[in-house]
Structure 1
Amino acid sequence: MRIALSTIGRFHTFDLARELHARGHELTVFTGYPRFKLRDERLPQSAIRTFPWLHAPCMKLGTRLGYDRAIMRELVHWNLESFGRHVTRNIPECDVYSGLSSSAGDAGRIVKSRGAGYICDRGSSHIRIQDQILSEEHARWGLKYKPIDPRVIAREEREYEEADLITVPSSFAYRSFVDAGVPERKLRLIPYGVDLTRFQKVAEPPTDSFEVLFVGGVNIRKGIPYLLQAFAKLTHRAKRLTIVGGCDPAMLSWLHASGLPLEGVTLTGSVPQPQLKAIMSRAHVMVLPSVEEGLALVQAQALACGCPVIGTHNSGGEDLFTDGEEGYIVPIRDADALAERMQNLADQPWLQQMMGAAALLRVRRIGGWSTYGGRVAALMEDLATHRRRDAGVPIGALAGSEIGSC
C-alpha cells in the first residue's frame, strides 16, 4: 500500500511508520520536526518530509514562556495551520492517509476525493471532553484556566467529521468520543506499544530506600498535586520521589506557593530518553495520576524496565496492564488511593518484585510496537480495499465489522 502519515511532532507516529515500513508499505511521513532530530528514527530519509519553520520556535518559546500566554496561543494556532496547509499542498497519491488530529489540514478531504481512505489519529480524549476536564481541574486548584483555542477545537472537529475512521489508544479516549456524540461505528480502539530496543531492565531498585518515580509534563493535567499529597501520606524511613519532566516557570512558582508538600521531592527537569531506562529500572514504582490522557507511553516504558505502575482510569493504564498484577489502576483525583497502593509496595518488597516480574512478562506479550503496527496495517488494508471497491461510499456509514473492527 501507499500510505501517508502526518504529525506535527513525533509522538507515536514514527513508531507506527517503522512498523509499516517493515511490512513493505510505501511511506510518506510529514512532520514539524527538523530533519537532524530524526536521524535515529530508523526510516529512509527519502520518506520523511519536514516542515519545522514554526514548530521548532513554537516548542522552544513554549518551554520558556509557557503555552497559556496570548502570544503562544497565536503561535500554536499558526503552527498547526501552516503545517496543515503544507501537508494539504503536498499530499501524494496514496491508498490511505492517517493524520494526527489538529494537523491534517484539508489533506483528508483531498485524498478522499481521489478515492483513498482517511483516518484521523487522535492521541487523547475528544477535544471538547479534554477541555471540560481541564477546566474543572484548574477550578479545583484555584488556577486560572485559558480554554483550548476555539480555532483548534473547530479544526479538530472538522477532522473528526471528515475522517472515515478515528483511531484512539485507550478505553477512556474511546468513551469520551461516545460521550461527545461520535458514532461508535466510526471509532477504533488500538492501544500503543513500546520500543523494546530502547527500554529494558538495566538495574535493580535499591534495598535501603523506596523510590517513587513520575515521568511526564509537570502540570495539572498529569495530576501532580494528587501525587504530592499521596507521597506525603506514604510512611517509609527513606522515601524519595523523583519527578522527571519539563516544568514551565509559572507552574514551578505555583507549586512552591501552593502549600503542597515538597519534602523528599526532586524535580530533575527533562531528561534525554536514553537515560530513562536506567531511572525507571531503579524505581520501585512509577506513579502517573493523570486526570486526562490518551494513553501515556511512559507507562509501557516503565513496565518494560520491570517497574510496576500506578495509573488512573484516565491515563490509559487499563489498556496496558491488569489492576493488581503489574501495578494498580485507581480513580482520578484520589490521593488516598494512590497513597494506599504505594504503601502496599513499600511495606511488602516481595509484592513489588512480583509485580515487576509480571510487568516484564506483560510487555513481552504486548510485543513492542509490532502488535500495534499490525492492527493499524490491517485496518488500513481493509479501508483501502473498501475504498477501491466502492469509491465515494463513506466508511463510517457501514458497520464496524464490515471493515475489520480492531
Structure 2
Amino acid sequence: MVVIYSVGVPFNYSGLGNTAYHAALGLYREGILTHILTPDFRECEIPKEKFSTFPLRKITSKGHARIRNYTIKDNLFDLWASRKIQDFGKINVFYGWSHHSLISMRIAHKKGAITFIDRQSAEIRFQREIMGREFKKVGVSVDFISSRNIKKTVSEANETDFVVVPSTFVRNTFIDVGYPEEKILLNPLGVDLERFVPKNDGFEDDIFRVIFMGILSVQKGVHYLIRAWKKLDIPKAELLLVGGFDRLSREVILNEAKNGKNVIFGGGTATPEREFMRSNIFAFPSNQDGFGSVVLEAMACGLPVIVSQNTGAKDCVRDGLEGFVIPTADVDALCDRINYFYKNRDKVEEMGRRAREQALKYDWESYRKRLAGSVAHIVTCGLSEK
C-alpha cells in the first residue's frame, strides 16, 4: 500500500504542523505511511528517509528570505508536491490539507488514489460570510478571503473522496451547503496531558483572573470579550490576553481596550501552561474556530471554560458541567457567565476538576488511532471492491 501525506507547513512544529505530526504518526504506527511531503520537518519517531522537503524561500539581494504571502506559499508547495507525486507509481492514498493540495490531489487521483483533505476551519464560504459580517460590524473593509482562494478550496472539497474535520461545528457547515454526511469524517483533536496539568498549590495572589489565549483577532471574538469585561467592571480582577495581534484586528482590539480596567496584554508565550496555572477561568468567544486546541489545553490544566457556539471545541464541553457554551457574539452572555464564576468560586474549582476529567478523554493517541483506523478501513474496503 502506498500512502502519501502532504502538508504545506513545517511538520512537527506548532499549530497545523503539530496536528499533521500526530496524523502522520498514526499512519506510520499503523504501518501504512509511505512518504511525507512538507516544506520542513523536525526530527521525530518517523524516519528521515520518509520525508521530502521543499523550503519555501525567495531569493533577494540579501540572500534567501521566507515567502510571507500564504496564497503564494500554498500554491508553490502544491505545485512542487504534484511533481513529487508524479515520481510514484500507483498510489493508494493521498492525504493532503485544505489550501495546499488541489493540483497534487488531482495527480494522485489519476494514479488511482483514494483522497483525503483535512480541513480545520469551517467550510470556506461560511467562513468568509461570517467574518465579512464581523469585520463590517467593526468598520473594517476587507476581502477576508479572496475569490481565488474560495474557488480552490471549494474545488478541493468537491473533488476529494473524503473531508476530515475536527468538530461537529465544521462538519455541519459542510453538510449545510450540500455535502453528503458520509463524505465528512469527524476526528476531534487531542491534547498533551503530560504537559498540561492542574496546579498542585494555590494561587500566588488573590486576583480573579480570566484568561484568553490565541491570536488576538476579530475572528476569535477578543473585542467582544473586552467589551464584556469593561461592562462588568469587577474589583480585584484581571483579564489576561495572551497572544500576538492579527494584523487586520490590532487597531480594533486596542481601541476596544481603551479605558478598560485591568486588561493585560501578555504577548506570546512558549509556556502556555504557566499562564493557565495562574488563572481562574478560560474564555474563548470565537466567531469562527474549527476546533481551538487551546480550549482543551486550558481544561487539562483544570480551568472551567466559556466557549461560543462557533467554537469547535464546544464538543468537549458539557454546558454547566465543565463550563458554559454561549451564543456567538453575545456580550451579555459573556458578562453573565464570567460574573457567575466571579461570585461562585466553589464552582470554579468544581467545574475545573470536571474539565480535567473531560480532557483526559481527548489524548493525542486516541486521535492518531481514529484517523489511521479510518484511513485503513476505507482503503481496505476500496481495494476489496476493486
What is the TM-score normalised by the length of structure 2?
0.89
Higher mean alpha-carbon deviation, 221-230 vs 192-201, is at 192-201
Specify the alignment match of 2:377 in structure 1.
Answer: 382
2:215–2:246 contact (8 Å) kept in structure 1? no
Q: Which amino acid aligns with 2:76?
A: S
Where do 1:119-268 residues align within 5 Å? Answer: 119-202=116-199, 204=201, 206=203, 208-248=206-246, 251-258=249-256, 261-268=259-266
2:96–2:118 contact (8 Å) kept in structure 1? yes
Specify the alignment match of 1:50 in structure 2.
Answer: 53
1:329 lines up with 2:336 in the alignment: no
Specify the alignment match of 2:8 in structure 1.
Answer: 8
Distance 1:209 1:390 in 2: 63
2:82–2:103 contact (8 Å) kept in structure 1? yes
Q: Residues 99 and 261 from structure 1, CA distance in 2 versus in 1: closer, same or farther, beyond 3 angstroms?
A: farther
Higher mean alpha-carbon deviation, 191-200 vs 75-84, is at 191-200
2:23–2:372 contact (8 Å) kept in structure 1? no
1:51–1:83 contact (8 Å) kept in structure 2? yes
Over the matched positions of the two proteins, sequence identity in percent amounts to 28
1:82 lines up with 2:76 in the alignment: yes
Deviations 1:322-355 (A, max 9, x none): 1111111111001111111111111111101111
Q: Residues 61 and 106 from structure 1, CA distance in 2 versus in 1: closer, same or farther, beyond 3 angstroms?
A: closer
Q: Residues 332 and 260 from structure 1, CA distance in 2 versus in 1: closer, same or farther, beyond 3 angstroms?
A: farther
2:291–2:312 contact (8 Å) kept in structure 1? yes
Distance 1:360 1:86 in 2: 43
Distance 2:381 2:59 in 1: 38
* SS, match of residue 338 in structure 1: helix
Higher mean alpha-carbon deviation, 323-332 vs 45-54, is at 45-54
Q: Residues 262 and 17 from structure 1, CA distance in 2 versus in 1: closer, same or farther, beyond 3 angstroms?
A: farther
Specify the alignment match of 1:269 in structure 2.
Answer: 267
Aligned residues: 372
Q: Residues 349 and 289 from structure 1, CA distance in 2 versus in 1: closer, same or farther, beyond 3 angstroms?
A: same
Q: Residues 203 and 167 from structure 1, CA distance in 2 versus in 1: closer, same or farther, beyond 3 angstroms?
A: same
Deviations 1:109-134 (A, max 9, x none): 22222222101111011101100000
Specify the alignment match of 1:288 in structure 2.
Answer: 284
1:97 lines up with 2:94 in the alignment: yes
1:30 lines up with 2:42 in the alignment: no
Tell me the C-alpha RMSD between the 2 structures. 2.5
Distance 1:55 1:345 in 2: 51
Q: Residues 248 and 375 from structure 1, CA distance in 2 versus in 1: closer, same or farther, beyond 3 angstroms?
A: closer
Using the TM superposition, give the Cα deviation of residue 264 of structure 1 relative to its aligned residue in structure 2, in angstroms.
Answer: 0.8
1:192–1:372 contact (8 Å) kept in structure 2? yes
Deviations 1:76-123 (A, max 9, x none): 222111100111111345432211101013222222222221011110
1:195–1:369 contact (8 Å) kept in structure 2? yes
1:278 lines up with 2:285 in the alignment: no
Using the TM superposition, give the Cα deviation of residue 148 of structure 1 relative to its aligned residue in structure 2, in angstroms.
Answer: 0.8
Distance 2:251 2:136 in 1: 18
1:350 lines up with 2:353 in the alignment: no
Specify the alignment match of 1:109 in structure 2.
Answer: 106
Using the TM superposition, give the Cα deviation of residue 140 of structure 1 relative to its aligned residue in structure 2, in angstroms.
Answer: 1.1
Specify the alignment match of 1:401 in structure 2.
Answer: none
1:341 lines up with 2:341 in the alignment: no
Q: Which amino acid aligns with 2:70?
A: V
Deviations 1:178-210 (A, max 9, x none): 222222221122211112243223455626111
Distance 2:101 2:191 in 1: 25
Specify the alignment match of 1:311 in structure 2.
Answer: 307
Higher mean alpha-carbon deviation, 200-209 vs 130-139, is at 200-209
Question: Which structure 2 residue ranges, 5 or more long, are not aligned?
Answer: 10-16
Q: Residues 203 and 248 from structure 1, CA distance in 2 versus in 1: closer, same or farther, beyond 3 angstroms?
A: farther
Q: Residues 203 and 51 from structure 1, CA distance in 2 versus in 1: closer, same or farther, beyond 3 angstroms?
A: farther
Deviations 1:205-246 (A, max 9, x none): 626111111111111100011100112233542111111111
Distance 1:242 1:11 in 2: 25
Distance 2:161 2:257 in 1: 48
* SS, match of residue 117 in structure 2: strand
1:94–1:116 contact (8 Å) kept in structure 2? yes
Higher mean alpha-carbon deviation, 232-241 vs 132-141, is at 232-241
Deviations 1:353-381 (A, max 9, x none): 11111111111122x11222222112101
1:17–1:27 contact (8 Å) kept in structure 2? no
